[in-house]
Every structure is written in C-alpha cells, then in structure tokens.
Amino acid sequence: MSEAVDSIRIANVPAAYPARSVGWYAVFILALMYLVSILDRFIITLLVDPIKRDLGITDVQFGMLNGVAFALTFSLFGLVLGTLADRVSRRWVIFAGVSIWSLATAACGLANQFWHLLLARVGVGMGEAALNPSATSMLADLFPRERLTTAMAIYGLGATVGSGCAYFFGGMIVQMVSQTETLHVPILGTMRSWQAVFMIVGFPGLLLAFLIFTLPEPLRRGRGGLDQSLSWHKAYGDLLKFIGSRKRFFLCHYTAFGFASAVVAGGGTWYPAHLGRTFGWSASEIGLSLGIALTVGAIVSQVVSGRAIDALFRRGVRDAHFRWYAGCLVLATPAGIIATTSGNAWVFVIGLGIFIALVSSLPTCAATALNLVTPNELRGTGIAFWAGTAGLVGAASGPMLIAMFAEQFYSGPAAIGFGLATLMAICLPMGALFLFLGFRAMREAVAESERWAT
C-alpha cells in the first residue's frame, strides 16, 4: 500500500448524522446559492450582441469573458478556498464568496470597455470559487454514503435550474430593459440597458449570503488522520500523494469529466446566440424556450440520476457514478448533434432538453465520486484541485473552441450550431471512453475508502 494510504491513521468516532430535516434544509439553502451563482454566471450569455455592439468585441473575446476570464479565476482561487474549506468554518468561506460574486456581478454593469468587463468577470469567478468545495464538503458530512448522491443531485439542481432561470428570468429582464437603449439609475447616472441587467441580478445576492448562518457547521466525518495545519503546500502535497495512490481512478475521472465540462460550459455560453442568429428569436423568446428546456431537463436529470445511482450503490455497484454517466454521454452524443445541426428551431429546443436531461448530472457524478474516495481533510482541496485542472481546461476551452470551430470551418448564421455539434462529436465519446476505462479503478478506490469512512 502506498505511503499516502499508509499515512492515513483512522479516527473512527461513530456519531449519528443530523436529523434528515436539518440535512435537507441545508441542501435547499446551498442549492439556492448555487442557483444564484449560475444565474450571475450565465446572464451574460443573453447579452452577447448588445455587449459586442457597445464594447466593440469579437466572438472570441466574448468567449474569453465566459471562458478564460471566469474559468481561470474560478479555478485558481478555488485552489486556495478549497484548502480553507478543509480547515476553517465552511459557512464563513461561503458567506465571503457569495458577497464577492454578487458585488462583482453588479460591477459588470459599470463596464464601459472590454477590460472593465474582463476584470469584473474575474471577480465573479473569484467569489463563486468558494461555494462548491465548502458546500460539497458539508453535504458529505450531513448525509450517509448511501444517500449522498441524491443530496448532491438536489444541490446540483441549483446549477442546472439556475441556468434555466438565467435564460427565463434573464430573458424577461432583458426584454423589459431593451425597450429603451439607456436607463437613468439614481447615483450611478445614465447607463446602457444591458448594464442595468447586471445590477438587477447582482445586488440581491448580498442578502442571500446571510442565509448561510441559518445552517449548522456539521461534524467532519471520514477523517484520515492527516495534518490540518494551515499550509497550502502541505495540503496539496498530501493530496498529490493520495492521487498518486489512485492514479488510474483520478486519470479517468479528470479526463472524462474534463471532456464533458467543455461541452457543458461551451454550450451554456452559445445556446442563446445560436437561437438568435439562426432562427431570429427575440431575447424573451430565447429566455422562455431555453429556460423551460433547461429547467425540465435538469430536474429530470438530477432527480433520476441521484436516486438511480444511490439505488445502485446500495446494491453494491461501487462504480455506479462512472457507469451511469458513461451511459449518459453515449446517449447524449447523437441527441446533441441532431439538435444543434437542425434547421428547425423547435427540434433544437426539444433536442436540447433531452440533451440537458442526459448531461446535467455531471457535477453530481464528478463531485460525489471524488468525495466518496477522499479523506475528509482533503475533500475541499480535492474538489478545488479538480476544478483548477481538468475542470479549468474544460470550462475555459469550451466556449472558445466552439467560436473557433464556427469561425474557421463554417459560415453563415448557423455556424455556431455546427461549432457546438463539432465539440460534442469530439468530447462526449472521449469522456464516455475514459469513464469506461475507470470502472475497475473506482470500485477499488471506493472499497478502500470504506475501510476508514464513518
């Protein structure tokens, strides 16, 4: 057995889990915060054309705003905040993160140049980096292993329903403020209508941040007896040793979910632009159709996947998370390609709903698989490291790759749709392949973790 595993001295102190009502209330609050984070993250995708017009930027530059600028910051700050989540109060880490991303979203409304908006998006990424490492760590301490995937799935609904809300309510807001090119805002003066949208969705998050203090700070479970000194060097040294002891599991996990992240993040950036450019739909039409498709698809995905994976796990299928998502990616490939290359708007919307129902369990499967095999002292660090490596590559490259495929290989208003299809055709089968190669490795990693998990 490797040095990393040998160093895990178990401190099994049996303790009852909190009442289910406490756990599910925590899921609700954390999912609500996740929803708002995704709303703030994706509202920019409904404002592509007015932002390009007023700031004079290209599609590739816009891809940077939602790709590199956000994703790079999200991932790098996550490396720091994930370690904090393992060592200090997770509630305070989340409170700070929600406050920062809400202020940064509002600051997007003050942008008058590309670099202004770029810096504000950096702030959004920095704040949102705090939520996932802390929230997923808390859930792993609130629910037993055989019910954890369902809890993670409901939490994950915040992300996918948040995307739907971004399109649905965002489209309504955009339609309302677009009736006039400029608006007069007290204190701030005259601003463009798209700038006002950022203000409207950003400031309420400052009030939401205080809800985290209505949750308990749960007892940390599944400790591995590792050093908990506040040293990032030590934390990531321990994590890398642990990853080294499970090379095949982590290689397959990071590679597979990285490929899938490129499609999920890239698609979320360009779906509205595809509907607007290819089919000439208005912001309100786009918001309503995408909002319904993504929300319904997300609910189906998370509820079904959470319950199905937990049922498989209870029956002894210890690679259930890899096995389930591999099947989802195989089915999602033709569904996504048919939808994005169709010349009929309703085929795209309905096909997209099916596609979303298949791929939206990505954060649930990826995060739960990691937390099931990782000692408590490294869970926040592990989630952050995943986001800062494979997650970063996927989320940062997806939006830009779609724009590059569209510009280099296709032409006309439907070019973005074909760019989407190209990325799906490459990344989804590759993701499924690596998950398949990791089945045995996940079974072995979970079996080993069950020797010390409490």
Inter-axis angle of helices 59-66 and 48-55, to 10 degrees? 120
Q: What is the pLDDT of residue 342?
A: 93
Do residues 402 and 266 make contact, with C-beta atoms less than 8 angstroms apart? yes
Query: What pLDDT does 224 receive?
Result: 58
DSSP state of 20: H
So what's the pLDDT on residue 76? 81
CB 30 within 8 A of CB 139: yes
With 0-12 CB in 10 A as exposed, 13-18 as middle and 19+ as buried, what is 210?
exposed
Pairing between β-strand 182-185 and β-strand 189-192 as defined by DSSP bridges: antiparallel
pLDDT of amino acid 417 = 92
DSSP element (H, E) containing 286: helix 283-314
Q: Alpha helix locations (H) across 109-204? A: 114-128, 131-142, 145-177, 193-202
- pLDDT tens digits, one per residue of 110-148: 888 888 888 899 999 899 999 999 999 999 899 988 889
Instruction: Give the type of residue at 411.
Output: S
Question: Which single residue is written with the structure tokens 């891809």?
Answer: 63
Per-residue pLDDT reduced to its tens digit, 156-180? 888 877 777 776 766 676 666 666 6
- For the chain, domains (ranges, CATH) are 17-211+238-449 (1.20.1250.20)
Here the tokens at position 376 are 């408590």
Question: What's the gap between Cα 153 and its chain centre?
Answer: 12
Q: What phi and psi values does residue 191 have, to the nearest 5 degrees?
A: -145, 160
Predicted TM-score (pTM) of the model is 0.79
Below-50 pLDDT ranges, the chain: 1-13
Would you give the DSSP letter of residue 220? P
Residue 368 pLDDT: 93
321, 206 contact by CB (below 8 A) = no
* HEC readout, 310-372: HHHHHCCCCCHHHHHHHHHHHHHHHHHHHHHHCCCHHHHHHHHHHHHHHHCCHHHHHHHHHHH
